[in-house]
Structure formats: C-alpha cells, structure tokens
Structure 1
C-alpha cells in the first residue's frame, strides 16, 4: 500500500467522520433555539411575513405586432 492509498483512505475516513458528526448533532444535539426558529426571543425576523421584493408571475401578453417584430 503506497502513500497515495493512505491519503485516499484518510480523506474518505475524514469525510465519513464529518458526515457522522452532522448526523449526530442533528439527531442527538441540544434543542436550543437559534435564529430561524421563530421562537420570538430575539428581534431577527419573527415579525410575520417577510417583505416581498420580487413578484413571480406570467409575462404580459404581447400583441401580434410586437410579437412579430425583429429586434
């Protein structure tokens, strides 16, 4: 087994350890409130609906004259 194999196995083990720590914190971690939980204990966005910046909808219909123009 060469040095490249050792480095590759180390990288795989490090990645697996990182993923295991994420799962461990997600499943068995403390249930403390943080920003984004909307618990109302802080002033960061627990104000209801966020301000609408962009509206997504259908494009306005073009008449036949505008649709056939070459730009």
Structure 2
C-alpha cells in the first residue's frame, strides 16, 4: 500500500487475433485514450519514476436476478 492509485480499467478484447479463441481481460491502465499523445494532451496519464509503485484493485460480484 502507499503507491499511486491507478484509476483506469482497461478492457482488452481479442477475437482470436492472437489467441486461438476469444479472450477478454481486465487490466490496469495508466492512461486512457488509444493514443498516448492524446492522453498526455488531456492530462490522463499516470507517470511513475523508476522503482515507484502504483496500486490497482478490482472487485467483481455476480449480478443476481431480482425477485418479482
């Protein structure tokens, strides 16, 4: 604990382009936009110094059907 917070969730989708089957992955992202240049222009990039730490966590829970 105590590192910079990573606030962006990246969703990576591979429709059998690299893997032999479809893959979806949730990953920490230090910026958003597909272009690093655009992210930097909009102040949406987390910069880390050498050996600096960043923290990331995600909580998932199943959605239960509502009773009628």
Shorter-chain TM-score above 0.5: no
Looking at secondary structure, tell me which structure has more strand per residue.
2
Looking at secondary structure, tell me which structure has more helix per residue.
1
- Higher RCO, Cα 8 Å, sep 6+: 2
Of the two, which has the highest radius of gyration? 1
With the length of structure 1 as denominator, give the TM-score of the two structures: 0.18
